[in-house]
Amino acid sequence: MFNLDEIKSEKYISLETYRKNNQAVKTPVWFVIKSDSIIIVTRDQTGKIKRLRNNQKVKIATCSIKGKISMAPIPGIAQILTEKETKEAVKLRDKKYGFFSKISKFLTRNKGNLLAISVKID
């Protein structure tokens, strides 16, 4: 079984989601680890959220800021979190990424409201 502690200190993971035609879309994202889940904060109008509403299967792998994968992808199931859980996730992300997180919130504000997803490894 994969141990999430192995990726905890990484800055980016590639989140692979799937279009309705099952075509994979890989997106480098920030993340935090909370208990046995990978938590990702994004905006509710992004493509990855639209894809997750149709198909909750995902794959994750550590990657560079440009998405160059540095490990074998691991399958998981994503779940969109509640508003309360999202607020907690934003605090965790802000703690890990600091000032860059604040800049990101400002630059992405036109993509909708903040929304968090939880990925559980299969």
The pLDDT tens digits of the residues spanning 73-108 come to 999 999 999 999 999 999 999 999 999 998 998 888
pLDDT above 70 (res 1): no
Q: Is residue 26 part of a domain?
A: yes
Q: Is residue 74 part of a domain?
A: yes
* Domain CATH for 49: 2.30.110.10
Q: What is the mean pLDDT of residues 58-81?
A: 97
Q: What is the pLDDT of residue 102?
A: 87
Q: Is residue 77 part of a domain?
A: yes
Reduced to 3 states (helix: H, G, I; strand: E, B; else coil), residue 72 is coil
pLDDT digits (tens, 9 = 90+) for 7-60: 999 999 999 999 999 999 999 999 999 989 999 999 999 999 999 999 999 999
Q: What is the pLDDT of residue 59?
A: 98
Do residues 15 and 58 touch, judged by C-beta distance below 8 A? yes
Q: Is residue 5 part of a domain?
A: no
Q: The domain containing residue 100 runs over which residues?
A: 10-121
**The residue to which tokens 């149709």 are assigned:** 54
pTM, 2 dp: 0.93
Q: Is residue 1 part of a domain?
A: no
Q: Is residue 4 part of a domain?
A: no
Q: CA–CA separation, 84 vs 18, rounded Å?
A: 27
Q: What is the pLDDT of residue 122?
A: 85
If one counts the domains in the chain, the total is 1
Q: What is the pLDDT of residue 34?
A: 94
Number of H helices, E strands in the chain: 3, 7
Q: CA–CA separation, 92 vs 27, rounded Å?
A: 20
